[in-house]
């Protein structure tokens, strides 16, 4: 892979990032891990000993001034930026609901927070990366960037309870194509998405799993609608992220969403269509 010596900014240091950050670090790169809290420090510390240069940066990806500062600091330290992975985001309890009464009570501020954290945060990073690459190109410096947005399968089919979260990812699906054309047209590089299905993390653990580790009612509904009948792991997502970030391996891929969701929702009426999968021999 053509990743050795490259510089990557990784926005977000949650469960999904714990898969691709170490995978990047195995390629002797310069890596900036960005988050608002101390998760970036923890993830950066876990990458020690992998022959990569790593720095933790405290910044809010939903704040355009913070995003601008991140690009400025990384460029000043390592002289070049090649890859941007936009993995920040999540939902907020005040924007979720389970019935009509709950929907009517959602405040505009909660909706805006979800849209800003999941959609605008990626737009800000893409815009700043474009500005950096354009300036580099004007100075006759290498300017071929790769953006990988960590998105959600809910951008294709909205989920109950979290429609504003789904709205944000539907928006980024559209923006990715628009921005990918701009990047390609002006010779700045490529933008692609990894559309992630259901992976258990700190934010959604109680929604998907009971205290004893068995699936909740909603978790079981998800598993039954997923072809592989399992939740994803960070490693499942890591390999596609590295593929799309690599300027050689995926050079002709632009404006594309690679869905990594275990086959969620690929058929309807799954519950009444087939008998239960047998135990053993790959059955779950």
Indicate the helix (H) or strand (E) that contains 190.
Answer: strand 189-196
Lookup: tokens for 22: 């170490």
**Per-domain boundaries in the chain:** 7-202+231-272
CA angle 40, 203, 277 (to 5 degrees): 120
CATH entry, 7-202+231-272, from 3.40.50.150, 1.20.1730.10, 3.40.50.12280, 3.40.50.720: 3.40.50.720
Which residue bears the tokens 């809290």?
Answer: 37
Q: Given this model, what pLDDT does residue 44 score?
A: 97
Q: pTM of this prediction?
A: 0.92
pLDDT of residue 282: 46
CB burial readout 57-77, b (16+ within 10 A) else e: bebbbbebebbbebbebbbee
Secondary structure element (H or E) that encloses residue 188, with its range: none
Longest distance between any two alpha carbons in the chain, whole Å = 63
Q: Which of 24, 26, 27, 59 is nearest to 41 (CA)?
A: 59
pLDDT at 284: 46
Q: Quick one: which of 7, 30, 43 has its CA closest to 142?
A: 7
Average pLDDT, consecutive stretches of 10 residues, N- to C-terminus, the chain (284 residues):
93 96 97 97 95 97 98 97 96 93 97 97 98 94 93 93 96 98 97 94 80 88 89 95 97 97 84 68 46
**Inter-axis angle of helices 108-115 and 163-185, nearest 10:** 40
């Amino acid at each position: 892979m053509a990743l050795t010596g490259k510089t990557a900014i990784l926005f977000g240091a949650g469960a999904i990032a714990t898969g691709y950050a170490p995978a990047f670090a195995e390629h002797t790169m310069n890596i900036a891990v960005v988050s608002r809290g101390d998760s970036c420090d923890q993830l950066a510390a876990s990458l020690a000993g992998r022959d990569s240069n790593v720095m933790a940066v405290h910044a809010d990806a939903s704040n355009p001034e913070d995003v601008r500062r991140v690009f400025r600091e990384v460029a000043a330290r390592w002289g070049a930026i090649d890859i941007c992975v936009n993995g920040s985001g999540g939902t907020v309890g005040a924007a979720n609901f389970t019935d009509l009464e709950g929907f009517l009570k959602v405040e505009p501020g909660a909706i805006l927070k979800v849209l800003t954290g999941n959609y605008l945060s990626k737009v800000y990073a893409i815009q700043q990366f474009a500005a950096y690459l354009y300036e580099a190109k004007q100075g006759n410096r290498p300017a071929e960037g790769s953006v990988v947005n960590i998105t959600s399968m809910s951008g294709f089919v909205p989920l109950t309870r979290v429609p504003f979260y789904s709205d944000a990812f539907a928006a980024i699906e559209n923006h990715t194509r628009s921005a990918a054309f701009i990047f390609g047209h002006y010779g700045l590089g490529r933008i692609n998405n990894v559309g992630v299905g259901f992976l258990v993390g700190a934010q959604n653990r109680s929604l998907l799993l009971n205290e004893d580790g068995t699936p909740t009612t909603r978790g079981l509904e998800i598993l039954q609608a997923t072809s592989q009948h399992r939740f994803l792991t960070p490693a499942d997502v890591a390999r596609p992220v590295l593929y799309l970030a690599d300027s050689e391996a995926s050079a002709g891929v632009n404006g594309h969403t690679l869905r990594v969701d275990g086959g969620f929702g690929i058929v309807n009426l799954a519950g009444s269509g087939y008998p239960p999968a047998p135990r053993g021999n790959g059955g779950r």
